[in-house]
Amino acid sequence: MTKAAVILLSGGLDSSTAAAIAKDEGFAVFALSVDYGQRHRFELQAAARVATSLGVERHEVISVDLSRFGGSALTDDVEVPKDRDETEMAGNIPVTYVPARNTVLLSLALGYAEVVEAADIFIGVNAVDYSGYPDCRPEYIAAFEKMANLATRASVEGRLKFKIHAPLIGWTKAQIIGRGMQLGVDYRLTHSCYDPDASGVSCGRCDACRLRLFGFAEAGREDPLEYQHRAP
């Protein structure tokens, strides 16, 4: 019988690749996307496209409005940093950090996983190309996994032993893109930009765009998305 896995699917490059990896490993994929009050809906629209293209078993989209708290350039009226090089990106925790976001998202995924009886949860966090976010580190993933097995009825009763998979955590963007292309991920369906225009065209200048463009360049591939400014 095929094992179930829950994947946190944002619609970005990393989570889409992680979802494809879960599918390639033989899991029946249950996708979860979260409208957490981010400033635009384009990534959520991308998540729906990717979920359809991968043929997931079920795709849930739920809302948790973290914009009520603010405190991030992704949820508040705070300027998104632009034109930063990789040294600047890795220097300090950036204003695009959303307080406790991955903890909130993984907690929701854990509840979903317990209901659909999925012991495996996939998340597309990456600690190499972007080391600024504290909730993208291996020790964080290990800590959440330990908590998950203390906090749920299914684990306490011995029915499920939860495993948090972060297959991309030690990969460069180029490696992620290369693996995704091997698995047939259509990156035209994805969206990564923090600050797109009103029609959804990526800015090409925020950290997410620049890291994505660096990754495609390093992989020797052309990013299929349209950009307002393409130079990496």
Is residue 34 pLDDT above 80, yes or no?
yes
Structure-token pair, residue 143: 């800590």
Is residue 130 pLDDT above 80, yes or no?
no
Q: What is the pLDDT of residue 127?
A: 85
Distances (CA, A) of 149 to 30, 120, 128, 145: 20, 12, 27, 6
pLDDT (tens digit per residue) in 151-190: 999 999 999 999 999 999 999 999 999 999 999 999 999 9
Q: What is the pLDDT of residue 50?
A: 98
Q: What is the pLDDT of residue 91?
A: 72
**Cα–Cα distance for residue pair 91/84, rounded to 1 Å:** 11
pLDDT (tens digit per residue) in 180-232: 999 999 999 999 999 999 999 999 999 999 999 999 999 999 999 999 998 75
Burial class (CB in 10 A: 0-12, 13-18, 19+), 50: buried
Taking the CB of residue 33, how many other CB atoms lie within 10 A of it?
24
**Cα–Cα distance for residue pair 115/106, rounded to 1 Å:** 14
Distances (CA, A) of 30 to 12, 61, 89, 152, 176: 17, 11, 32, 19, 21
pTM of the model: 0.96
Question: Which residue type is seen at 65?
Answer: D
**Cα–Cα distance for residue pair 41/39, rounded to 1 Å:** 7
Q: Binning pLDDT at 50, 70 and 90, where does residue 124 land?
A: very high
Is residue 132 pLDDT above 80, yes or no?
no
Q: Binning pLDDT at 50, 70 and 90, where does residue 133 land?
A: confident
* pLDDT higher at 9 or 89: 9
Q: Please, what is the Cα angle at 96 between 92 and 100, to 5 degrees?
A: 90
pLDDT (tens digit per residue) in 51-106: 999 999 999 999 999 999 999 999 999 999 999 887 788 778 889 999 999 999 99
Residue pair 165/141 in contact by the 8 Å Cβ criterion? no
Q: Binning pLDDT at 50, 70 and 90, where does residue 123 land?
A: very high
Q: What is the mean pLDDT of the chain?
A: 95
Q: Binning pLDDT at 50, 70 and 90, where does residue 128 land?
A: confident
